[in-house]
Structure formats: structure tokens, C-alpha cells
Structure 1
């Protein structure tokens, strides 16, 4: 049994993780700890507080203490990682790994690694964030050599509001931001419910749609050496073994 610890800020779409456990078929566990969110705001200062080293250290200690040995640990917050920039996000992961004592990553790096796994070099982004925050994700991907052809911000300030978006809204949003020349579509907010929509998202646009909670789970399994091919979780999981 593979155990991936999930550090999740606040409350919005955390129920995607037990759903992912069910879809994984019982051979992986995803114990989740809610990390401290003093202010629910997609704003740079608030996001830097959400992803601060002391907050993540407390979360790592809590998930390890509550659920036994871990195989890997993931900071499941895209904006709370890319807002630090590439070097800052690397330092964030290194500090988390030191505290947890197991391989660690964040959702921002999970997007990069997922694109590499699928051979994706150009993307369209559908961001729920305000534009100034979303542009930092574009810059982050650029550091990895991933070309963003278009970025459509939705301008939602709070994770709580993002968590209320319906399935039809998510499907329509993915279709609306697509460009024919994009290799994949990225939906970067872990506050967005997507785990039960992954195959439908791919089918709707005819190409891989990578979502934040999807890539977070996949990255945790990859770091634990358990990223074999699986059905029901989109093209990323269906791809199976390493190509990167």
C-alpha cells in the first residue's frame, strides 16, 4: 500500500482526495491534513503566508503523526507554491522534504513533471485566479520551457468560491480556453473539483486536461514509485510508466 501525505490549505475541494483514493482502486492511501489559512485570498501576500515554511512544517508533522509512515508528501497548492517563483518553490519543497523525511513536491512542480511525462510543450491555461496571480504561473511554467499559448483568468478571489463551481461550469471552462495548437489544457487551482471529471474533460476537448488535484496525486505516486497505468483518472494516469 502506497501512502501519499497531502497538505491542503483550508477547505474547498479537499473531498477530491478521498474520491481519488476510490478511483485508484484501494492500493494507495491519501491522508490529508488541512494546513493553516489565515486569509482565503488569491492575493500574493496572502498566498505567501499560506505557503510559508512554518505552516508547511506543522502540516508535515501532523500528517506523519496522524497516519503512520509516508512514502511521499505533496504540498497540494499551486498558487501557494508558484507565487514564490521557481527558486523559492524549490526551497519550499526542500524544506518540506527535510521535515517529512520522504520525497516531497508541490502542485506547481507536479504540473511541470506531468507535462514532461506526456511530452507536452505548449499549453492553454484556464485559471480561476485573478490575472496578476495567474501570470506568475505562466512565468513559472516558462522556467521549465513550457510555452503558454493563452491564459484565461476567471478572477475569483477566494478558494471557497472556486470550490462551489459546478461540473458543467468546469467542463465549459476547459472547452472555452482551448486552442487547437495547444498540446494540453491546464486548470491549476486545487480548490477546483475535478477528480471525477477527468475522463470527461479529456473527451470534451480531445486532448489531455491536467488539473491541480489530479497532478498532485499523480506526483505523490510517482515519487513513491507507484505511477503505473490506471484507468478513470485521465490521460496522465493512463500513460503509465516513466518517459521523463
Structure 2
């Protein structure tokens, strides 16, 4: 049994994780809810969700649960810190919990690489500004962004209230013929178990926030698990690619620089 720790902001689509746990074999997902004072999708409010103190507050519970690794289940609460700042964020989390750590944002990068997608389209619930910052994060990792579409929702609660038809509309609006995959970064969207249906609609891989969060945890744990309902990312393969290192795997490495703009080592996936 592989035990993955999930730090999830608020409540919104947290129920996606027990659904995925049922669909996956011998995987235990321990979800710790972090406090969210404001679920608004403004930049400052989103940055506050990823503050070190909020993430470290769940460390003791995750340690008691015996997690093998931990993933911060927020896209905007990680990519808004920038490429280097997001590495620093996961580095601090790894030190607090004492196991390897990553985030949803890095999960997207690794998932895109695993699928061999050269360019992607982004179907975002966020504003144009926040969506553009996610596209910038992907480009910093060497991922080409063919197109973005921003729904401009005001809060995580709004996103969590969407049904599958609205999610399909969002994905279809962003898709372009030249995109090899479509990314839905918001972990407040209910998508668990619907990835294969979304892929059938678009005819290409679809990556969702909660799906890539779990895949990232399994990657850190060195474990594979398969479920056709979770899309091509969880399709059985003969020889999966070798994992790319993330801060906290093995022994910690020295790092320099502080603040949102730089410093901590993390998953350097630019090849």
C-alpha cells in the first residue's frame, strides 16, 4: 500500500480524492485540509493559500499518517510564486513534513512530459491575468502553450459548483488542433473519473488538477497505478519514463535566495 499525503486548500473538490482512491489499486490518499480565509481568485488571495505557515500546519497530521510523500494540491497557490518560488515552497514543505514534496503545478509539468506532449492548450477557470501566469510557468519548464482560455470565475466555490457539462464546455473552448493535450489546472473542479470521457470528447489527452496531483504523489513514491477512467495519464504502459527529481527526493541540496522570485531547488525539468 502506497500512502500519499495531499494538502488541499479548503473543501471545494476535496471529495475527488476518495473517488480516485477507489479507482486506483493499493493507493491510500491522506487528505489534510488547509485553512483558506478567502476563496477568491484574485492574485493576492491565491498567494495567501500557499504561505509556508499554512502548509506547515498540516505537517504533524501527515507525519502521524505515515505518508511517503506529500503534494500541495493547488495550482494557483504554487505557480503564482513563479518557477523558483514554487521550488522554494515545496522545499519548505519537504523540510516540514520530512518526506519528498511537490505541488500540482510541478505535477502538470511532469505529466505533460510523461505523455510526450510538445504543446498544450490551457482551459482555465481563472482570470486572464492568472491564466497567463500559469502559461508562463509552463513555458519556464519548456512546455509550449498553443492557446489559453479563461472563464474568469471569482472563487473556488464557483468552480466547485460546475457540473461535468460546464467542464466539457471549458475544455472544448480552449482546445486547438495543434495542441497535443488540454490542461485544466483548477483543483476546485470536480473531474475525478471523468478524464476518459473528456478525452473521448476532445480526441486527445486531458490533464486535470486533482488527477495530476495524485500522479505526482505516486511519481514521488516511485509507484505506478492504473485506471482507465482517469485518462491516458493512468493508462498502463510497458516501460514508463524514468522519474525526474524534485526537491526532497534523496537528501536535501543546499540552496540560496529567498522570496517568491527564487532560491529553492526543485524539479528542473527543462532539458
What TM-score, normalized to structure 1?
A: 0.96
Unaligned runs of 5+ in 1: none
Matched with 2:40 is 41
Q: Which has the higher helix share?
A: 1
1:62 CA displacement? 2.5
Quote the residue 1:29 is aligned against: 28
The count of aligned residue pairs is 241
Q: What does the per-residue CA deviation read over 1:142-186, in whole Å, with 9 as the maximum and x for residues that have no partner?
A: 101111111100000100110000011112221221101101000
Are residue 12 (structure 1) and residue 12 (structure 2) matched? yes
Match of 1:137 among 134, 137, 156: 134
Separation in 2 of the partners of 1:196 and 1:130?
26
**Counterpart pick for 2:213 among 205, 211, 216:** 216
Structure 2: distance between partners of 1:40 and 1:169: 20
The answer as to whether partners of 1:3 and 1:69 remain within 8 angstroms in 2 is: yes
**How far did 1:121 drift?**
1.8
**Structure 2 CA distance, aligned partners of 1:197 and 1:91?**
33
Report the Cα offset of residue 72 of structure 1: 0.9
User: What do residues 79-132 of structure 1 show as CA deviations (whole Å, max 9, x unaligned)?
Assistant: 000010000000000010111111110000000000010111201111000111
Is 1:97 the counterpart of 2:94? The answer is yes
Give runs of aligned pairs for residues 1-244 of structure 1, distance below 5 A: 1-25=1-25, 27-65=26-64, 68-240=65-237, 241-244=239-242
Once residues 224 and 55 of structure 2 are traced to their aligned partners in structure 1, the CA distance between those partners, rounded to angstroms, is 25
Moved more, 219-228 or 111-120: 219-228
Contact 1:131-1:155 within 8 A present in 2 as well: yes
Offset from partner CA, 1:200-240 (integer Å, 9 cap, x none): 01111000000000000000011101124443210001154
Helix, strand or coil at the partner of 2:229: coil
Cα RMSD between the aligned structures? 1.2
Alpha carbons 2:24, 2:225 under 8 Å: kept: no
Q: Provide the rounded CA distance (Å) in 2 between the counterparts of 1:82 and 1:121.
A: 20
- Taking structure 2 as the reference length, the TM-score comes to 0.86
